[in-house]
Amino acid sequence: MEIGIGLPGHALWSDGRQFVEWARRAEARGFSSVAVSDRLLWSTPEPLTVLSAVAAATHRIRLVTSVLLAPLHTNHLLFAKSILTLDHIAGPHRLQLGLAAGFRQDDFTTSGVEYTRRGAQLDALVGVLHDAFNDRAGINLPPATPGGPPLFFGGTSAASIRRVATRGTGWLAGTASVKDLIEFVPRLSDAWTAHGRVDSPRVVTAAMFAIGPDAKEAVRRAIGPYYAFAGEEWAQYGIDSALTSPDQITAAVAEFAQNGCDELILTGNNTDPGQVDLLADALGW
């Protein structure tokens, strides 16, 4: 199982240059990917902008949107051109697009995007991406990655499963437990096979972490406000399930690896780039 690292964009950051330093250190310490989350009505940085900066500062590490609120990008052709441009800046086989319909209604209402049609918007956008990746959208910019950057889809609905099975490389969960994997992946595999796909869908999931003497407090400060919209119980669950010690981290890595996870993205909750080195040390790298 590969291990990626998620940037702490949901935490209380103040210097965007820290994200680039996180990525440099992640590449130097051997992490497989650097991932960026997405949320509109929060201080979370815009994912494609961040990944453009990261692409310019690194050479090998994969760049992942985990996950992009795709229906908010209503000009599908412009979005496709942005993705193709980033694919060229990064170089072949580095960019991986995790896309989801989203579930925070206020992000859509504020944007003037009809919430109830977000799934249809996502499907339409994916169709335009497919045409653009195959040089059929009139952009005249073929992808740097042959066939275009691989698409991953978040969510566990029937529509999400359909998207993975028909258009995707795999499933990308912004957060998921081992129990979630055990319950969901067989459904996904059945749909994958039913659509005539060979091999297996790639399974990527994420877990929150912080490490060091103030790890628990860093998690509380970052996750509590970020998940407050979903209620106190959900926010507390996020805080309680975060990994805050080397022993918890190594145990979680082993458990995810044993239950069908192909890549685990460990998402930071302390903005200090030193967290990257502490995590690598905890993993024994």
Tens of pLDDT, residues 45-58:
999 999 999 999 99
Spatial contact of 12 and 221, defined as CB atoms under 8 Å apart: yes
pLDDT of the residue at 240:
95
Separation CA 6–CA 237 (nearest Å): 19
pLDDT tens-place string over residues 213-222: 999 999 999 9
pLDDT band at 205 (very low <50, low <70, confident <90, very high): very high
Write the Ramachandran bin of 133: left for phi over 0, alpha for psi from -120 to 50, otherwise beta. Answer: alpha
Checking if the pLDDT of 8 tops 90, the result is yes
Residue 202, judged by CB atoms within 10 A of its CB (0-12, 13-18, 19+), counts as: middle
Mean pLDDT of 92-118: 96
H-helix or E-strand spanning residue 236: helix 232-241
Residue 212, judged by CB atoms within 10 A of its CB (0-12, 13-18, 19+), counts as: middle
Exposure letters 144-160 (e unless 16+ CB within 10 A, then b): bbeebbbbbbbbeeeeb
pLDDT band at 265 (very low <50, low <70, confident <90, very high): very high
Spatial contact of 64 and 265, defined as CB atoms under 8 Å apart: yes
pLDDT tens-place string over residues 19-41: 999 999 999 999 999 999 999 99
State the amino acid at position 191 in one-letter form. A
Give the tokens for residue 212. 């060091």
Checking if the pLDDT of 18 tops 90, the result is yes
Mean pLDDT of 6-10: 98
Spatial contact of 132 and 123, defined as CB atoms under 8 Å apart: no
Q: Name, in order, each residue with C-beta under 8 angstroms of 253's C-beta and a sequence gap of 6 or more.
A: 1, 3, 264, 283
pLDDT tens-place string over residues 119-178: 999 999 999 999 999 999 999 999 999 999 999 999 999 999 999 999 999 999 988 899
The fold of 2-282 is: TIM Barrel (3.20.20)
Checking if the pLDDT of 229 tops 90, the result is no
The mean pLDDT value of the chain amounts to 97
Mean pLDDT of 72-101: 98
Mean pLDDT of 248-261: 97
Mean pLDDT of 227-237: 90
pLDDT of the residue at 234:
87
Q: Which residue has the higher pLDDT, 234 or 136?
A: 136
The runs of H, that is alpha helices, within 135-231 are 158-167, 178-194, 215-226
H-helix or E-strand spanning residue 151: strand 151-153
State the amino acid at position 65 in one-letter form. T
Cα dihedral: 102, 106, 109, 112 (round 10): -70
pLDDT of the residue at 176:
87
